[in-house]
Amino acid sequence: MAKDHGPHIKNDEQYEELRDKGMSKEKAARIANDPDSGKKGGKADKYEERTKDELYQKAKEVGIEGRSEMTKDELIKALRNH
């Protein structure tokens, strides 16, 4: 049974699995709180299929600095490594 991480974590079991795999607390929480994220991955569009503006908005949402100067490929790389 997964530990209760409080109201800020929507899916405690998924959060713990991600942390066990070595993800940061921030990234694990972001994934565990995303309603489009399932146990075997999210159902969101691949980054390559999104527009640069959509990638920019996602980068803004997660707090990636320098995003306004990034190309689409740089935004994808930054989002994957955040």
Determine the pLDDT at residue 26.
85
pLDDT digits (tens, 9 = 90+) for 21-68: 998 888 888 888 877 665 555 567 789 999 999 999 999 988 999 999
The angle subtended at Cα 10 by Cα 9 and Cα 13, nearest 5°, is: 85
User: Cα–Cα distance between 80 and 78 in angstroms, integer?
Assistant: 5
Long-range pairs for 39-44: beta carbons < 8 A, 24 or more residues apart: 39/14
Determine the pLDDT at residue 8.
76
The residue ranges of every structural domain in the chain are: 12-42, 47-81
Q: Residue 8: CB partners within 8 Å, gap ≥ 6?
A: 29, 33
Determine the pLDDT at residue 57.
95
- Global model pTM greater than 0.85: no
Helix (H, G, I), strand (E, B) or coil at 57: helix
Determine the pLDDT at residue 42.
59
